[in-house]
Amino acid sequence: MNGAAKALERGSLVDFLASDGAFLGRGTYNPHTLIAGRILTRKVTQEIDQHYFAHQFRSALALRQRMGLGDYCRLIHAEGDGLPGLIIDRFGPHLSVQLNSAGMDALWPSIKAALLEVLQPAAIMLHNDSSIRSLEGLERTSSLDHGAVSSAIPVQENGLTYFADIVGGQKTGWYFDQRDNHALVARFAKDCTVLDLYTHAGGFALLAAKCGAARVVGVDSSEPALALARQAATHNGLDQSCEWHKADVFEYMERLIGTREAYDIVIADPPPFVKSRKDLAAGARGYRKLARLSALTTKPSGLLYIASCSHNMDLARLTAEVAQGLSEARRNGQILFTTFAATDHPVHPHLPESAYLKGLVIRLD
Catalytic positions, written as ranges: 309
Q: Where are the beta strands (DSSP E) in 48-166?
A: 72-77, 86-91, 94-99, 123-128, 141-147, 153-157, 160-164
Instruction: Work out the burial of residue 117: count CB atoms within 10 Å of its CB; fewer than 13 is exposed, 13-18 middle, 19 or more buried.
Output: middle
Distances (CA, A) of 86 to 49, 102, 289, 314: 15, 10, 34, 23
In angstroms, what CA-CA distances link 336 with 103, 184, 185, 265?
Answer: 42, 11, 11, 14
Distance CA(178)–CA(68), nearest Å, equals 16
| Element (DSSP H or E) covering residue 236 | none
- Residue 275 CA to residue 312 CA, distance in Å, equals 7
Helices 108-119 + 50-66 axis angle, to 10: 50
Residues near 120 by beta carbon (within 8 Å), at least 6 away in sequence: none
